[in-house]
Amino acid sequence: MTKQLFFGLFLSATLVTTACGSSTMTTPDIKFNPHPTKRYELTVTIKDAPGPFDSMQTYVLYDVTDPFCVPTLPGSGATNEPRKSVPLTLTKVGENTYTGTFYSDLIKDEDYSGKGVCHWKLSAVSMYLRHEKLTLPPSITWENILAGKPQTTYFSGLSYADASAERVDAGIEEGGKLRPSDHPFTVTFETKAHVQ
């Protein structure tokens, strides 16, 4: 899954309430699991950034595994797939290192609309770094979280310096594509499972 798709999924998750405000769409009352057990510790390391960031927001994105557990829309037959974006608080533990805890089973599997049980899965953990009008969205996929594999996103320092216009720089996952003259810097996500 690409960075652009992650950003799109995040926007759809955060805007779902607005989109569902019409009379033809309803937002399910998504509930949290009162006793989640699949806990993960996240460590984010920012290396060689050319300057500070104005804000840093992190979210855990959840999707349903079966979109047909919700009603279809009249006329189109399309489904309004429930998604949930949950803020994740990170604690600064070093000059450029942050940690936080999240659960892969945080969302409760439930029949939200009489169409069958919606089963939830964690899709990604994404961070949104803001510098002036520039947004950088590094993330880690569920596949890498499950495998215990770090995920690094490379960004250009030249892009960081050019932050006067509203835009998103998704970065790249292959550091070799950036030249030293690009003044590259990285954001690395690492996770560790603590299943209870």
What is the C-alpha separation between 122 and 120, in angstroms, rounded?
7
Q: Dihedral angle at the C-alpha atoms of 65, 71, 75, 76, nearest 10 degrees? A: -10
pLDDT at 24: 42
**Helix, coil or strand: residue 124:** strand
**Helix, coil or strand: residue 182:** helix
Q: How confident is the model at residue 2 (pLDDT cuts 50, 70, 90)?
A: low
**Helix, coil or strand: residue 119:** coil
Q: What is the bridge-based pairing of β-strands 134-136 and 167-168?
A: parallel
Q: How confident is the model at residue 14 (pLDDT cuts 50, 70, 90)?
A: very low
> What does the block give as tokens for 5?
């798709």
For the segment 148-174, the average pLDDT, to the nearest whole number, is: 96
pLDDT(1) > 60: no
What is the C-alpha separation between 156 and 165, in angstroms, rounded?
16
139 forms beta bridges with: 126
Segment among 12-26, 56-70, 132-146 with least mean pLDDT: 12-26
Segment among 10-14, 132-136, 159-163, 192-196 with least mean pLDDT: 10-14
Q: Running DSSP on this structure, what letter comes out for residue 32? A: B
Domain ranges of the chain: 3-9+40-106+113-195
pLDDT at 71: 74
For the segment 19-36, the average pLDDT, to the nearest whole number, is: 66
Cβ neighbours, 10 Å, residue 190? 18
Q: Are 48 and 102 in contact (CB under 8 A)?
A: no
What is the C-alpha separation between 36 and 132, in angstroms, rounded?
37
